[in-house]
Amino acid sequence: MKKEVDYKSAYFKKILMCLYDILAVNLAAVLTVVIVYDGFVYTDVLFQRAIPVTVIFIVLLWAFRVYSSMWEYAGSKELLSIFGAVLIGGITSIAVDIIMSNFHFASSGLHNGCFSLNFYVLFTVFVGVFVAGMRLAYRMTRRIGKTQYLKKKDKLDRVMIVGAGDMGMIIISELEANNFTKGKPVIAVDDNPLKVGSRIRGVPVKGNCNQIPELAQRYKIDTIIVCLPSVSSERQTEILRRAVETGCKLKTSPSLLEMTDGDEGKSRIRDVNITDLLSRPEVKLNPSVCKYLYDQVVLVTGGGGSIGSELCRQIAKYSPKKIVVFDIYENNAYLLKMQFRSHGDDVPELEVRIGSVRDEARLREVFDEFHPTVIFHAAAHKHVPLMEDSPHEAVKNNIFGTYNLAKTAMEYKVNRFVSISTDKAVNPANVMGATKRVTEMIIQYFGRKCNNSTIFTAVRFGNVLGSNGSVIPIFTEQIINGGPVTVTHPDIQRYFMTIPEAAQLVTQAGGIANGGEIFVLDMGEPVKILSLAENLIRLSGYKPYTEIDIKFSGLRPGEKLYEELVLDEESDSLKMTANNKIFVTKPLKMNDADFEKKLDILRSAGMDEIRGVLKTIVPNFREPEELNGEIIMNSASDKDV
């Protein structure tokens, strides 16, 4: 019913517009005669030409889709349509007068039955002004009315535009088109000194980006929109961090390349999220490196998890024959399958099989069914405090699950095996980290055992933003609940990267592996968890410590203050690969027979014996109290210096 009413209303508006244009054309003719010929003359001529000339103008305006435009949101395109129709109409009216002069205008006193050139020029101008003017007046009236209503209803946000370039102009236009419901641009800032003091679509450029806090306070800014698509990621991060300090709401725009025709109906402004505050240069991918995935059957263990599912999405880009997800947890795996199915034939076939890497018999069933040629091993227990309480489960899943999978892969002559490791495997201070270090050793052990007939490799990286159990979702929930946000220690630091970035680099590393290497991903600079919590609170629209409190809960069992990415004995062999975000270390020398014996001892070790046995396999596995004590002492001595 509502749609029918809207349709009738739109049709009625078009009729009114058409009637107005009929009046405008004839009023323009009368007014032009009065001005050009000093009086109301040639009335008979005006009357005789009124119908054909008016019909011509209305048909042209209709043909130029002037009546289809929504004039509340009209711009330069709509005005050009009007003037195009009017110009052709003005020229055509001359032809009409010439034709009709042969029948009616012979005794009119007009030269050759036509008006003067001045008449036709002025007549055309008047028609254009009358037709366009009414629509612009309608647009202005509607906007002013809405703005006044919004002012009475609720105070409009005062907006600072960061970046007085093309994107800044686009964003200001978008805010105008939405009647400033998303905020009214008050000032702009730009690092180009030539722009300071000028205006962009009427908005004054008052300073540079370093003055954001000062100008935000002076002009009582509520929202800051960063429009810097071409600025380096490092500078963008610096500007965003400066803007966060103001306490204003933060939004950002996409790059110009991200704005496609298909996005015209969508807002080009989005909220700034915590990943925007991490200085992460763009990952440059080399698609040719991932050709090893083409037309292959790829098995992803833990494929329903946050890392595993993103790996599946990245792998799908390289046209494998089939992706097989092997996971113990059915819900996430099922959701991933439904996502793939919704894309139809645009993505490769994805199969899900439920099972655990602990179960060697189940692994063989899956290998017999699909015969995978490439494996990405992402299945693991990863929560440090939980594994401190259940070390036996960490050993069974992380160590012997990896052993079972690697052994089966070797027997079935899989081409490549890529295992996901962690920075917690470096100088581990907990059971989880120690088990992941052992998995790296298992990968290298099987590489030697099969003489690299299967290329075994591991990829080591730090925390992944947004993954299951990461600090961001936990902090976000605490903020939603009103706080406090709990941080374990004021000095704790971690390396971070996004899930897509991690998955992209893992697939790249798999393509450049020769066997036995451990690849280390460039994680940038470590981030203080306290700073992360403070910024997340600010991005949520609150002030840390006053509106949302932060409390320190103390280090959890097995938790280190700092993480590392490379062992001391690996540092001399660490080299950059062709991808400057991926580094590689040479395999460390190992006594395979001794390693096998220690694994046998670990397999039968009791709960109280596991830590001791792990320390015999991973000599640099030390208790967290010992490692953290050294870090605190070194930090204190550095401050004294």
**Per-residue confidence (pLDDT) for residue 3, from 0 to 100:** 44
Please say whether the beta carbons of 488 and 556 come within 8 A: yes
Statement: residue 370 has pLDDT above 90: yes
Lowest average pLDDT, out of 145-154, 273-282, 376-385, 630-639, goes to 630-639
pLDDT mean over 594-622: 91
Q: Return the higher-pLDDT residue of 179 and 614.
A: 614
Beta bridge partners of 226: 162, 252
Report the pLDDT averaged over residues 64-91.
Answer: 76
Q: Are strands 184-189 and 199-200 parallel, antiparallel or unpaired?
A: unpaired
pTM, 2 dp: 0.67
Which one-letter amino acid corresponds to residue 36? V
Name every residue whose Cβ is closer than 8 Å to that of residue 433 and which is 6 or more positions away in sequence. Answer: 384, 422, 424, 425, 426, 558, 621
* Strand-strand pairing, 496-498 and 550-552: unpaired
Query: What does the pLDDT read at residue 265?
Result: 41
Q: Is the pLDDT of residue 1 over 50?
A: no
Per residue, the 3-state secondary structure of 190-218, as one string, reads: CCCCCCCCCEECCEEEEECHHHHHHHHHH
d(CA 516, CA 590): 12
Active-site residue among 182, 382, 424, 560?
424
CB atoms within 10 A of CB 309: 23
Residue 464 pairs with which residues in a beta bridge? 497
Give the integer Cα–Cα distance in Å for 164 and 162.
7
- Of 139-148, 400-409, 613-622, give the range with the top mean pLDDT: 400-409
Most confident among 5-19, 36-50, 224-238, 478-492 (mean pLDDT): 478-492
The per-residue pLDDT for range 504-535, each reduced to its tens digit, is 888 988 888 888 888 887 777 778 888 888 88
Report how far apart, in Å, the C-alpha atoms of 326 and of each of 208, 312, 365 are: 53, 11, 12
User: Please, is 345 exposed, middle or buried when counting C-beta atoms within 10 Å of its C-beta (0-12, 13-18, 19+)?
Assistant: exposed
What was the pLDDT predicted at 10?
A: 64
- Helices 592-603, 610-617: axis angle to 10 degrees equals 170
Q: Among 8-17, 478-487, 525-534, 626-635, where is mean pLDDT lowest? A: 626-635
Task: Let me know how long the chain is.
Answer: 641
Point out the least confidently predicted range of 21-30, 40-49, 344-353. Answer: 40-49
Pick from 467, 437, 444: nearest CA to 566: 437
Give per-residue pLDDT as tens, 558-570.
Answer: 777 877 777 666 6
Are residues 259 and 285 in contact, defined by beta-carbon separation less than 8 angstroms?
A: no
At 241, the pLDDT band (50, 70, 90 cuts) reads confident
Averaged pLDDT for residues 404-422: 95
Return the exposure string of 616-633: e unless at least 16 CB atoms fall within 10 Å of the residue's CB, then b.
Answer: ebbeebbebeebbeeeee
DSSP string spanning 434-501?
HHHHHHHHHHHHHHHHTTTSSEEEEEEE-EEETSTT-HHHHHHHHHHTT-PEEES-TT-EE-EEEHHH
Task: Please list the residues that pair with 457 across neighbouring strands.
Answer: 418
Per-residue pLDDT at 104 = 56
**Helices and strands: H and E segment counts in the chain:** 20, 22
Q: Mean pLDDT, to the nearest integer, of 434-455?
A: 93
Give the CA dihedral 245, 246, 247, 253, nearest 10 degrees.
-90
Indicate the pLDDT class of residue 279, thresholds 50, 70 and 90: low
Output the pLDDT for position 145.
58
Backbone angles phi, psi at 425, to 5 degrees: -80, -15
Query: φ, ψ for residue 375 (rounded to 5)?
Result: -125, 135
Average pLDDT over residues 420-445: 91
Percent of the chain with pLDDT over 90: 30
Tell me how far apart the alpha carbons of residues 23 and 19 are, in angstroms, rounded to a whole number: 6
Q: For this structure, is 424 an active site residue?
A: yes
Instruction: Tally Cβ neighbours within 10 Å of residue 19.
Output: 11
Burial of 225 from C-beta contacts in 10 A (0-12 / 13-18 / 19+): buried
pLDDT of residue 262: 44
Mean pLDDT rounded to a whole number for the chain? 82
pLDDT at residue 641 above 50?
Answer: no
Instruction: Indicate whether 639 pLDDT > 60.
Output: no
Kindly state the percentage of the chain with pLDDT values over 70: 84
pLDDT of 596 higher than 90: yes
Span 351-376, average pLDDT? 96
In a 10 Å sphere around its CB, with 0-12 CB exposed, 13-18 middle and 19+ buried, how is residue 470 labelled? middle
Mean pLDDT in residue range 254-281: 59
The residue assigned the tokens 């299945």 is: 379
Lowest mean pLDDT among 227-231, 297-301, 607-611: 227-231
Residue 257 scores a pLDDT above 60: no
Strands 297-301 and 374-377: parallel
Structure confidence by residue, pLDDT tens digits, 330-353: 998 999 999 888 887 778 899 999
User: Domain 287-603+610-633 in CATH: superfamily?
Assistant: NAD(P)-binding Rossmann-like Domain (3.40.50.720)
Q: State residue 248's pLDDT score.
A: 85
Per-residue pLDDT, 264: 45
Is pLDDT of 2 > 50? Answer: no
Place of tokens 């095996």: 417
Crossing angle of helices 76-101 and 43-63, in 10° steps, is 140
In the predicted model, what is the mean pLDDT of residues 268-275?
A: 73
**CATH no., domain 158-272:** 3.40.50.720
Whether 287-603+610-633 and 158-272 are alike in CATH topology: the answer is yes
| Average pLDDT, integer, range 237-263 | 72
Under DSSP, is residue 609 helix (H, G, I), strand (E, B) or coil? Answer: coil
* Distance of alpha carbon 262 from alpha carbon 205, whole angstroms: 31
According to the model, what pLDDT value does residue 467 have?
A: 65
Instruction: Confirm if 250 and 277 have CB atoms less than 8 A apart.
Output: no
Least confident of 163-172, 281-290, 337-346, 601-610: 281-290
pLDDT at 365 over 50: yes
Checking if the pLDDT of 32 tops 60, the result is: yes
More confident residue, 124 or 469: 124
Average pLDDT for 196-225:
90
Instruction: State the average pLDDT over residues 267-281.
Output: 68
Q: Residue 529's pLDDT is what?
A: 86
pLDDT beyond 50 at 539:
yes
Phi, psi of 475 (to 5 degrees): -60, -45
| Domains of the chain, residue spans | 2-151, 158-272, 287-603+610-633
pLDDT tens column, 96-122 = 888 877 765 544 566 666 788 888 899
Cβ partners under 8 Å of residue 547, min gap 6: 537
Is the pLDDT at 432 greater than 50, yes or no? yes
